[in-house]
Chains A and B, each alone.
Chain A
Amino acid sequence: MSSLTQTASMPEKHYLNNGTTLKSWLLTVDHKRIALLYLFSVLVMFTIGGIFAILIRLELLTPQADLVTPDIYNRLFTLHGIIMILFFLIPAIPGTLGNFLVPIMVGAKDLAFPKINLFSWYIFNLGVILAVAALVLGGVDTGWTFYTPFSTTFSNSNVILAGLGAFMAGFASILTGLNFLVTIHRMRAPGMTWFRLPLYIWSHYATSIIMILGTPVLAIAIVLIAVERGLGVGIFDPNIGGDPLLFQHLFWFYSHPAVYVMILPAMGIISEIIATFSRQRIFGYHFVAFSSMAIAILGFLVWGHHLYVSSQSVYASIVFSVLTMLVAVPSAVKMFNWAATLFKGSISFDTPMLYAFGFFGLFTIGGLTGIFCATLGLDVHIHDTYFIVAHFHYVMVGGVVMAFFGGLHYWWPKMTGRMYPEMLARIAAVATFIGFNTTFFPQFILGYLGMPRRYAVYPPEFQFLNICSTLGATILSIGAILPLFYFAWSFKYGRKASSNPWGSTGLEWQTTSPPPTFNFEETPVVDRDPYDYAHYYGKES
């Protein structure tokens, strides 16, 4: 049955009008409302992090430090990194789309632990407050990596405060992961077997494992920094008997898998979008699902590729290089399967699909440049240069942010019961793609030419490429800001959406837009694959 014949009318009662007081929002245990609370928090952080990014790009227009002093510049890139990674990229998809969709997609009424879910939002915001306090009280200048002994002994900035902020955000992330893991194991609707799960759920399953196993190590590393900095216990500073490299191992043991915490849910979104907008089953469903698990497991064994030139043993570096090469393979498998899904599809170009196409292009480059960095002899040269900066922005912005925005557009009708303005949205998607490439492509060249990262002052021969990059950043910021405005507008004034505007088979599209408080009028019974379009449209042969 085609759903396109449905009329667009909102249900009388849904989760958004089930209580309208501030209290009904701040004390809600409804995963959908908590998703919106998270959305608000992460978008505020995205805006702050974005303002820092613009200031960084403006400063780099000229080789001298003339817009801000080097001290301020160092604080800008540090907070840009801390905010964008720990307070935006890591929680963005799990906290918002994940919170909203995981229960609905498995056919449950809510997450396994609704109160813990609300609690995680509160401690996340406590982390936000600590990070903002660190900013207001004079900032932090250690880089988001907090390398020792600079962070423990030499920095005169609010290291402990910012570290505690990261610690809190990490706790929120552990609780979210725990909730998802238990929900996916225990709360699937009747008939929802493991291989009837949408690929988005598989990717969150893999992500949750990393969140639970990896994040405590970051917490330990931050506590150790506080202990050395505050109490003078020698852990990392060799002058008091510590080992400066130990921190890098602890830090990257979490922070490399954290990259997969960001990218795996993004890949899950892309799978859903590709299936819906080509109206067919994802090619090689099992391989896409297992590749997520392979990435999650292998991802824990590659942290040492951040330490090739740190004086780590050559033999350790060789092992880390092999494993890093191997972790590239499951990502490639996903790319091939997505491309194959388009073959003989029924493809439409709605905004979410444009973001998915953008993801294709940017993630391909982001992933392949990862191989440059994994290659031992080559990484010696490009390590800590703008090449790395470009590489991880291609993965983090080109991959995660493109997918996040694609997902927001895709599920916006479900979350709010309203459509976004299609034309403006397409303009934003294209502006983001063009602006992004103009900003970050020159940085690959800049990096290979030898410009180190975290430089407020640089030799004049690098200026031309830096100007290109800053010009691109202005286009990129238009692409990023535009959706914030039309989403806010659409929330109140957007055209009403039908329950299934895209004609998708997903379980979340079989309930009303917006869904009722307990998601479904009655518990759904699942009797087929997640992407069975032939059945859904009555075209079984």
Chain B
Amino acid sequence: MFDFPLIPEQASSYAGDVDNIYFFLVAMTAVMAFIITVLVIYFAARYHRKNVDEIGSGPHGSVKLEIIWTIIPVFVVMGIFFWGTSVFYTIQKPPEDTIEMWVVGKQWMWKFQQPNGKREINELHVPRGQAVKLTMTSQDVIHSFFVPAFRVKQDILPGRYTTVWFEATKAGEYHLFCAEYCGTNHSKMMGKIIVQEPVEYAEWLVSGGTAQVAASSDPTEAGLEMFNALACNTCHKEGSSGLGPTLNDLYGSEEELADGTMVLADDTYIRESILNPAGQIVKGFQPVMPTYQGQVTEEGLTQLIMYIRSIGGELPADAAAESEAE
């Protein structure tokens, strides 16, 4: 009864920062509520009406007071704003070196893919003390990746990628909730984040054992296989001989489209180009590519992107930050 927690476990690098704002605001609310309560009770008792035709004799207003109680709250909330924004920035901007994992949400389960291609359902193993970045998409409706112990949440949308990062600081098992209402079994779309010591995690990663879905091959290789199987390679050749633009060195570069606009070739652009090729025709090419909508699964798209990344460049640093932001 007395080990009754008021906050969830702090298990990520920024959980403490979030809690500090919370504690401050709780204290501020308590003080304000106390002041208002005391004032109201005191005035109500002190100025209680004594006879039936008594009237109030208070002042009608004071510009000085109005200015004081406007300006002070403005400064207080602006302070809170800056504090909250700096923590938000930490949560939004992943550090330089992260382990990258992939997440697909669907009614009503979580599918994960480790960097080496190992897949899991409703369970995600991560190493302690290492920043992990998740690139996420949904197969159907909007879901939301929410781990209370990490103080992090990010919506997962169909048709685009969103990312989230965290660094777990404590080994253990933590709740993963879907926080965006997604239909009948929304409340059963729960999973587990399993934080392991780095050595254990490394062992687990190469073992076939605990994962619910057997390990598959390296996602980049799988992407290459699919690239050939879907006959992408007949048009997207090395050099400029194909019907389509070459994909070598594409990733991370700026492409000029037929209408003259420039786009950054990132995950979302590649995904769009596979599913809706007519939407973004590269300058100098004909709109001849068929859509692959319905022919490639979300996992397949991930693998294709991994392959195209492997033959491409790096996202520029500021673009990486901005694509976190978007």
Which residues from chain A sit less than 8 Å from chain B, CB to CB?
A: 2, 4, 65, 70-71, 74, 141-143, 145, 147, 149-150, 153-155, 237-239, 241, 244-245, 278-281, 283-287, 308-311, 313-315, 317-318, 321-322, 325-326, 328-329, 332-333, 335-337, 339-349, 357, 360-361, 364-365, 368-369, 371-372, 374-381, 383-385, 445, 448-450, 452-459, 464, 503, 533-534, 536-537, 539
The answer, yes or no, to whether B92 is at the interface (CB within 8 Å) is yes
Verify A318–B48 contact, CB threshold 8 A. Answer: no
A244 cross-chain contacts in B, Cβ below 8 A? 142, 157-159
Closest Cβ–Cβ distance, residue B31 to chain A (whole Å): 10
B297 cross-chain contacts in A, Cβ below 8 A? none
* Residues B52-71 near A (CB distance < 8 A): 52-62, 65-66, 69-70
* Bound Cα distance from A241 to B107, whole angstroms: 21
From B33, B52, B184, A4 is in contact (CB under 8 Å) with B52
A sample of 9 more A-B contacts (CB under 8 A), given A326-B74, A346-B47, is: A150-B183, A285-B61, A309-B154, A333-B70, A349-B48, A376-B88, A383-B179, A445-B6, A449-B6
Given the interface pairs A325-B80, A347-B44, the reply to whether A311 lies near B162 with Cβ below 8 Å is yes
Verify A154–B187 contact, CB threshold 8 A. Answer: no
> Interface segment, B14-22, B97-105, B126-134, B233-241?
B14-22
Verify B81–A325 contact, CB threshold 8 A. Answer: yes
When C-beta atoms are compared, the residue in chain B nearest to A318 turns out to be B85
Closest Cβ–Cβ distance, residue B135 to chain A (whole Å): 12
From B7, B77, B92, A325 is in contact (CB under 8 Å) with B77
* Bound Cα distance from A448 to B6, whole angstroms: 8
Closest Cβ–Cβ distance, residue A138 to chain B (whole Å): 13
From B55, B152, B185, A280 is in contact (CB under 8 Å) with B55
Verify A459–B61 contact, CB threshold 8 A. Answer: no
Closest Cβ–Cβ distance, residue A325 to chain B (whole Å): 4
Verify A377–B56 contact, CB threshold 8 A. Answer: no
Verify A279–B77 contact, CB threshold 8 A. Answer: no
Verify A280–B181 contact, CB threshold 8 A. Answer: no
Given the interface pairs A332-B73, A333-B70, the reply to whether A342 lies near B141 with Cβ below 8 Å is no
Verify B73–A376 contact, CB threshold 8 A. Answer: no
When C-beta atoms are compared, the residue in chain B nearest to A237 turns out to be B158
A287 cross-chain contacts in B, Cβ below 8 A? 61, 66
The answer, yes or no, to whether B28 is at the interface (CB within 8 Å) is yes
Verify A452–B179 contact, CB threshold 8 A. Answer: yes
Closest Cβ–Cβ distance, residue A520 to chain B (whole Å): 25
Closest Cβ–Cβ distance, residue B14 to chain A (whole Å): 8
Verify A238–B160 contact, CB threshold 8 A. Answer: yes
From A147, A329, A346, B55 is in contact (CB under 8 Å) with A346
Verify A342–B142 contact, CB threshold 8 A. Answer: no
Verify B160–A380 contact, CB threshold 8 A. Answer: no
When C-beta atoms are compared, the residue in chain B nearest to A362 turns out to be B33
Given the interface pairs A284-B66, A342-B43, A384-B146, the reply to whether A239 lies near B159 with Cβ below 8 Å is yes
B178 cross-chain contacts in A, Cβ below 8 A? 452
Task: How many A-B residue pairs have C-beta atoms within 8 angstroms? Tell me.
Answer: 289
* Bound Cα distance from A361 to B30, whole angstroms: 11
When C-beta atoms are compared, the residue in chain B nearest to A461 turns out to be B5
Verify B175–A450 contact, CB threshold 8 A. Answer: yes
The answer, yes or no, to whether B216 is at the interface (CB within 8 Å) is no
Given the interface pairs A329-B77, A533-B56, the reply to whether A377 lies near B17 with Cβ below 8 Å is yes
Closest Cβ–Cβ distance, residue A371 to chain B (whole Å): 6
Q: Shortest 9 CB-CB distances between A and B: which pairs?
A: A450-B148, A238-B159, A377-B87, A280-B56, A375-B84, A376-B88, A344-B58, A455-B187, A342-B43
Closest Cβ–Cβ distance, residue B263 to chain A (whole Å): 17
The answer, yes or no, to whether B306 is at the interface (CB within 8 Å) is no
* Bound Cα distance from A379 to B80, whole angstroms: 12
Given the interface pairs A321-B81, A383-B179, the reply to whether A311 lies near B47 with Cβ below 8 Å is no
Given the interface pairs A141-B184, A149-B158, A285-B61, the reply to whether A375 lies near B83 with Cβ below 8 Å is yes
B325 cross-chain contacts in A, Cβ below 8 A? 313-315
Verify A458–B47 contact, CB threshold 8 A. Answer: no
When C-beta atoms are compared, the residue in chain B nearest to A357 turns out to be B40
The answer, yes or no, to whether B217 is at the interface (CB within 8 Å) is no
* Bound Cα distance from A368 to B76, whole angstroms: 12
Closest Cβ–Cβ distance, residue A233 to chain B (whole Å): 16
Does more than half of chain A's interface fall in helix, strand or loop, or is it mixed?
helix
From A143, A286, A310, A372, B25 is in contact (CB under 8 Å) with A372
Verify B187–A454 contact, CB threshold 8 A. Answer: yes
* Bound Cα distance from A457 to B186, whole angstroms: 9
The answer, yes or no, to whether B326 is at the interface (CB within 8 Å) is yes
Verify B36–A364 contact, CB threshold 8 A. Answer: yes
Verify A154–B141 contact, CB threshold 8 A. Answer: yes
A539 cross-chain contacts in B, Cβ below 8 A? 55
Verify A347–B49 contact, CB threshold 8 A. Answer: yes
Given the interface pairs A346-B49, A377-B17, A448-B22, the reply to whether A309 lies near B142 with Cβ below 8 Å is no
A279 cross-chain contacts in B, Cβ below 8 A? 49, 54-56
**Please, could you name 27 A-B residue pairs with CB atoms under 8 Å apart, sorted by A?**
A70-B186, A141-B184, A149-B142, A244-B159, A278-B56, A279-B55, A283-B62, A284-B65, A313-B326, A318-B88, A329-B73, A332-B73, A345-B47, A347-B44, A348-B49, A357-B40, A368-B32, A371-B77, A374-B84, A377-B21, A377-B84, A380-B88, A448-B22, A449-B5, A454-B187, A456-B187, A536-B55
* Bound Cα distance from A391 to B15, whole angstroms: 22
* Bound Cα distance from A361 to B44, whole angstroms: 14
When C-beta atoms are compared, the residue in chain A nearest to B21 turns out to be A378
The answer, yes or no, to whether B78 is at the interface (CB within 8 Å) is yes
| Best-buried of A318, A357, A371, A374 by chain B (most CB within 10 Å) | A371
* Residues B249-304 near A (CB distance < 8 A): 276, 293
- Interface 1/0s, chain B 172-199, versus A by CB < 8 A? 0001011111111111101000000000
B151 cross-chain contacts in A, Cβ below 8 A? 380-381
B180 cross-chain contacts in A, Cβ below 8 A? 147, 384
* Bound Cα distance from A349 to B44, whole angstroms: 8
Closest Cβ–Cβ distance, residue B194 to chain A (whole Å): 16
* Bound Cα distance from A325 to B148, whole angstroms: 25
From A241, A343, A450, B43 is in contact (CB under 8 Å) with A343
Verify B155–A309 contact, CB threshold 8 A. Answer: yes
Verify A345–B58 contact, CB threshold 8 A. Answer: yes
A150 cross-chain contacts in B, Cβ below 8 A? 141-142, 181-183
Closest Cβ–Cβ distance, residue B280 to chain A (whole Å): 13
A361 cross-chain contacts in B, Cβ below 8 A? 33, 36-37
The answer, yes or no, to whether B305 is at the interface (CB within 8 Å) is no
